[in-house]
Amino acid sequence: MFKRIQSIDDVVIEKIAKLHSPIKNKIMIAVSTSGNMGLVWFAICLPFLINPAWRATGANIVFGLCIAHLMGEIIIKHIVRRTRPCHNLKDEEQIINKPKYYSFPSGHTTASFSVLGVTMLRCSAPVVIAVFLLAVLIGFSRIYLRVHYLSDVVAGAFLGFLCGFASVSIFDYFLAMFI
Protein backbone atom coordinates (compact mmCIF):
# COMPACT_ATOMS: atom_id res chain seq x y z
CA MET A 1 0.00 0.00 0.00
CA PHE A 2 2.78 2.45 0.90
CA LYS A 3 4.52 1.73 -2.42
CA ARG A 4 1.28 2.52 -4.27
CA ILE A 5 0.88 5.81 -2.39
CA GLN A 6 4.53 6.69 -3.09
CA SER A 7 4.12 5.95 -6.80
CA ILE A 8 1.04 8.23 -6.95
CA ASP A 9 2.96 10.91 -5.04
CA ASP A 10 5.86 10.67 -7.50
CA VAL A 11 3.57 10.95 -10.54
CA VAL A 12 1.80 14.00 -9.08
CA ILE A 13 5.12 15.73 -8.29
CA GLU A 14 6.31 15.09 -11.88
CA LYS A 15 3.07 16.35 -13.45
CA ILE A 16 2.98 19.51 -11.33
CA ALA A 17 6.67 20.18 -12.11
CA LYS A 18 5.62 20.53 -15.76
CA LEU A 19 3.53 23.56 -14.75
CA HIS A 20 6.56 25.47 -13.48
CA SER A 21 7.33 28.88 -14.94
CA PRO A 22 9.16 31.88 -13.48
CA ILE A 23 5.95 33.84 -12.75
CA LYS A 24 4.12 30.83 -11.29
CA ASN A 25 7.18 30.06 -9.18
CA LYS A 26 7.11 33.57 -7.70
CA ILE A 27 3.37 33.32 -6.98
CA MET A 28 3.70 29.91 -5.32
CA ILE A 29 6.68 31.09 -3.26
CA ALA A 30 4.61 34.05 -2.03
CA VAL A 31 1.62 31.83 -1.23
CA SER A 32 3.76 29.28 0.57
CA THR A 33 5.69 31.93 2.49
CA SER A 34 2.42 33.42 3.74
CA GLY A 35 1.83 30.11 5.50
CA ASN A 36 5.22 30.05 7.23
CA MET A 37 4.71 29.70 10.99
CA GLY A 38 0.98 30.25 10.41
CA LEU A 39 1.73 33.92 9.72
CA VAL A 40 -1.21 34.56 7.39
CA TRP A 41 -3.58 32.86 9.83
CA PHE A 42 -2.39 34.87 12.81
CA ALA A 43 -2.74 38.03 10.71
CA ILE A 44 -6.29 37.03 9.80
CA CYS A 45 -6.98 36.44 13.50
CA LEU A 46 -6.19 40.04 14.45
CA PRO A 47 -9.54 41.54 13.37
CA PHE A 48 -11.30 38.69 15.18
CA LEU A 49 -9.31 39.27 18.36
CA ILE A 50 -9.75 43.05 18.26
CA ASN A 51 -13.53 42.99 17.78
CA PRO A 52 -15.24 41.95 21.05
CA ALA A 53 -18.10 40.24 19.17
CA TRP A 54 -15.62 38.00 17.31
CA ARG A 55 -12.98 37.61 20.00
CA ALA A 56 -14.00 34.06 20.98
CA THR A 57 -13.73 32.98 17.33
CA GLY A 58 -10.26 34.52 17.06
CA ALA A 59 -9.16 32.81 20.26
CA ASN A 60 -10.61 29.53 18.98
CA ILE A 61 -8.65 29.86 15.73
CA VAL A 62 -5.43 30.39 17.70
CA PHE A 63 -6.30 27.40 19.90
CA GLY A 64 -6.92 25.26 16.80
CA LEU A 65 -3.56 26.33 15.36
CA CYS A 66 -1.85 25.32 18.61
CA ILE A 67 -3.46 21.87 18.57
CA ALA A 68 -2.57 21.44 14.89
CA HIS A 69 1.06 22.41 15.55
CA LEU A 70 1.31 20.03 18.48
CA MET A 71 -0.19 17.10 16.59
CA GLY A 72 1.51 17.63 13.22
CA GLU A 73 4.87 19.25 13.84
CA ILE A 74 5.75 17.97 17.28
CA ILE A 75 4.20 14.50 17.39
CA ILE A 76 3.38 12.97 13.97
CA LYS A 77 6.34 14.31 11.94
CA HIS A 78 8.78 12.88 14.46
CA ILE A 79 7.05 9.50 14.51
CA VAL A 80 6.75 9.11 10.73
CA ARG A 81 10.06 10.83 9.73
CA ARG A 82 9.27 10.92 6.03
CA THR A 83 11.91 12.43 3.76
CA ARG A 84 10.79 15.39 1.67
CA PRO A 85 10.66 15.13 -2.13
CA CYS A 86 13.10 18.05 -2.44
CA HIS A 87 15.84 15.94 -0.85
CA ASN A 88 15.77 13.76 -3.96
CA LEU A 89 16.35 16.74 -6.29
CA LYS A 90 19.54 18.38 -7.49
CA ASP A 91 20.12 21.82 -5.97
CA GLU A 92 19.49 23.56 -9.31
CA GLU A 93 16.05 21.89 -9.56
CA GLN A 94 14.93 23.28 -6.22
CA ILE A 95 12.82 26.46 -6.27
CA ILE A 96 13.11 27.32 -2.56
CA ASN A 97 15.54 26.34 0.18
CA LYS A 98 15.09 22.78 1.33
CA PRO A 99 13.25 22.66 4.67
CA LYS A 100 15.18 20.93 7.44
CA TYR A 101 12.34 18.96 8.99
CA TYR A 102 10.27 15.98 7.96
CA SER A 103 7.59 15.89 5.30
CA PHE A 104 4.55 14.06 6.71
CA PRO A 105 2.12 15.70 7.33
CA SER A 106 2.39 19.12 5.72
CA GLY A 107 2.47 21.65 8.56
CA HIS A 108 1.38 24.52 6.33
CA THR A 109 -1.64 22.50 5.22
CA THR A 110 -2.44 21.26 8.72
CA ALA A 111 -2.48 24.82 10.05
CA SER A 112 -4.53 26.08 7.11
CA PHE A 113 -7.20 23.42 7.41
CA SER A 114 -7.41 23.79 11.19
CA VAL A 115 -8.41 27.41 10.57
CA LEU A 116 -10.88 26.22 7.94
CA GLY A 117 -12.36 23.72 10.42
CA VAL A 118 -12.90 26.46 13.00
CA THR A 119 -14.32 28.98 10.53
CA MET A 120 -16.69 26.37 9.08
CA LEU A 121 -18.28 26.04 12.51
CA ARG A 122 -18.01 29.67 13.60
CA CYS A 123 -18.20 32.01 10.59
CA SER A 124 -20.39 33.01 7.69
CA ALA A 125 -20.06 31.55 4.19
CA PRO A 126 -17.93 34.38 2.69
CA VAL A 127 -15.28 33.94 5.41
CA VAL A 128 -15.33 30.15 5.03
CA ILE A 129 -14.97 30.40 1.23
CA ALA A 130 -12.03 32.81 1.50
CA VAL A 131 -10.29 30.61 4.08
CA PHE A 132 -10.98 27.51 1.98
CA LEU A 133 -9.45 29.04 -1.15
CA LEU A 134 -6.36 30.22 0.71
CA ALA A 135 -5.96 26.87 2.49
CA VAL A 136 -6.17 24.92 -0.78
CA LEU A 137 -3.74 27.32 -2.47
CA ILE A 138 -1.24 26.99 0.38
CA GLY A 139 -1.49 23.19 0.27
CA PHE A 140 -1.04 23.17 -3.51
CA SER A 141 1.95 25.51 -3.27
CA ARG A 142 3.75 23.00 -1.05
CA ILE A 143 3.44 20.30 -3.73
CA TYR A 144 4.27 22.77 -6.51
CA LEU A 145 7.47 23.80 -4.72
CA ARG A 146 8.32 20.10 -4.25
CA VAL A 147 8.68 20.29 -0.49
CA HIS A 148 5.71 17.95 0.08
CA TYR A 149 4.05 15.01 -1.58
CA LEU A 150 0.32 14.93 -2.35
CA SER A 151 -0.21 12.44 0.50
CA ASP A 152 1.52 14.85 2.94
CA VAL A 153 -0.90 17.59 1.94
CA VAL A 154 -3.99 15.35 2.01
CA ALA A 155 -3.01 14.04 5.46
CA GLY A 156 -2.33 17.61 6.60
CA ALA A 157 -5.78 18.70 5.42
CA PHE A 158 -7.44 15.80 7.22
CA LEU A 159 -5.45 16.37 10.42
CA GLY A 160 -6.13 20.11 10.22
CA PHE A 161 -9.88 19.53 9.94
CA LEU A 162 -9.79 17.19 12.92
CA CYS A 163 -7.80 19.69 14.99
CA GLY A 164 -10.06 22.58 13.98
CA PHE A 165 -13.26 20.67 14.73
CA ALA A 166 -11.86 19.28 18.00
CA SER A 167 -10.70 22.74 19.07
CA VAL A 168 -14.25 24.06 18.72
CA SER A 169 -15.63 21.29 20.95
CA ILE A 170 -12.88 21.72 23.53
CA PHE A 171 -13.14 25.51 23.40
CA ASP A 172 -16.93 25.41 23.85
CA TYR A 173 -16.59 22.98 26.76
CA PHE A 174 -14.16 25.21 28.64
CA LEU A 175 -16.02 28.38 27.71
CA ALA A 176 -19.22 26.90 29.19
CA MET A 177 -17.36 26.09 32.42
CA PHE A 178 -16.32 29.71 32.91
CA ILE A 179 -19.51 31.47 31.83
Which residues are part of the catalytic machinery? 108, 148
String of b and e for 7-26 (b: at least 16 CB within 10 Å)? eebeebbeebeeeeeeeeee
Calculate the alpha carbon distances from 33 to 29, 67, 142 in Å.
Answer: 6, 21, 10
Assess contact for 117 and 61: CB atoms under 8 A. Answer: no
**Measured between alpha carbons, how far is 7 from 35 in angstroms, rounded to an integer?**
27
